[in-house]
A = this chain, B = another copy of it.
Amino acid sequence: MSAPAGRKTWQAVQAAVRARISRRDWKPGALIPHEAELAQEFGCSRGTVNRALRGLAEDGLLERRRRAGTRVALNPQRRAAFAIPLIRDEIEGKGQQFAARILTREMRRPPPDVQARLRVAGAAPILWLETLYTADGAPYVFEARWINTHAVPRALDADFTVISPNEWLVREVPFDSGDFTVSAMAADGRSAAVLGCAEGAGLLVLDRRTQHGAQIITSVRLVFHPGYRMHTRS
């Protein structure tokens, strides 16, 4: 859009509103003019203003309610989007050599907490994989994964030395949602040995669960090398 003099695109309106909020022309909690009014002021249609404000509301900067109008959020920044690392890309993106080594692959009966997490009944053995990912040979992240082979029997025939479990699953298995949890742990003997770090080091842990409908496909725990950081990409 070539931005003719007075005419505003929704991005321009959004930027203008953002500026007013951050300049405190409109203070937290205050009601701002309604869409029609802003449309007139900015010389654009109400649709354009709506688009701009909707985006700001999604970012948590505004709170909108029908009939009640739009007000500046009292407490912005309730959420932050973190980039979920795609191990291979992350390592190769730094110009380092990516490698994956499977440490364990066996059928194992999930402990009770994993049974709950995977929503599998009883203790029938399912596929258990441990993989170490390295960057230029240095341990980068240790992955421990359960694959619900009741839901994905084909996983039993996959050759994970050729394609990583994650890449195989993404490519082969339908899924529709998932959830993440971030926590921290002190390196125990095993983690320290695998990651080649001191026992007791602080390690960032990312648990990810992937599901298709009501069924849980897989549950992974990524334990990162000491010093690893995740940050907002926005």
Q: How far is the CB of A215 from chain B (nearest CB, A)?
A: 12
Number of copies: 2
Q: How far is the CB of A203 from chain B (nearest CB, A)?
A: 5
Q: Indicate with 1 or 0, residue by residue over A207-234, a CB within 8 angstroms of chain B CB atoms.
A: 0000010000000000010111111111
Q: How far is the CA of A227 from the CA of B185 in the complex (A)?
A: 8
Q: How far is the CA of A145 from the CA of B175 in the complex (A)?
A: 42
Q: Which of B178, B212, B234 contacts A77 (CB 8 A)?
A: B178
A181 touching B86 in the complex, CB below 8 Å, given contacts A24-B174, A75-B170, A176-B18: no
Q: How far is the CA of A207 from the CA of B229 in the complex (A)?
A: 10
Is A158 part of the contact surface with B, judged by Cβ < 8 Å?
A: no
Is A13 part of the contact surface with B, judged by Cβ < 8 Å?
A: no
Q: Are A185 and B182 in contact (CB under 8 A)?
A: no
Q: Are A79 and B84 in contact (CB under 8 A)?
A: yes
Is A22 part of the contact surface with B, judged by Cβ < 8 Å?
A: yes
Q: Which of B75, B82, B83, B178 contacts A86 (CB 8 A)?
A: B75
Is A156 part of the contact surface with B, judged by Cβ < 8 Å?
A: no
Q: Indicate with 1 or 0, residue by residue over A61-76, a CB within 8 angstroms of chain B CB atoms.
A: 0000000000000111
The residues of B that contact A233 with a CB separation of less than 8 Å are 79
Is A200 part of the contact surface with B, judged by Cβ < 8 Å?
A: yes
A180 touching B80 in the complex, CB below 8 Å, given contacts A28-B171, A175-B22, A200-B186: yes
The residues of B that contact A23 with a CB separation of less than 8 Å are 174
The residues of B that contact A179 with a CB separation of less than 8 Å are 231-232, 234
Is A81 part of the contact surface with B, judged by Cβ < 8 Å?
A: yes
Q: How far is the CB of A79 from chain B (nearest CB, A)?
A: 5
Q: How far is the CA of A64 from the CA of B82 in the complex (A)?
A: 21
The residues of B that contact A175 with a CB separation of less than 8 Å are 22
Q: Which of B75, B77, B184 contacts A184 (CB 8 A)?
A: B184
Most chain B beta-carbon neighbours within 10 Å: one of A18, A204, A226, A233:
A204
Q: Are A204 and B182 in contact (CB under 8 A)?
A: yes
Residue numbers of A with Cβ under 8 A of B are: 18, 21-24, 28, 74-84, 86, 170-171, 174-176, 178-187, 200-205, 212, 224, 226-234
Q: Pull 24 A–B residue pairs with CB atoms less than 8 Å apart, ordered by A.
A: A18-B176, A21-B176, A22-B174, A22-B212, A74-B170, A79-B82, A79-B84, A80-B81, A80-B82, A82-B82, A82-B182, A181-B231, A182-B182, A182-B204, A182-B230, A183-B204, A183-B227, A183-B229, A184-B204, A184-B205, A184-B228, A185-B202, A186-B186, A186-B202
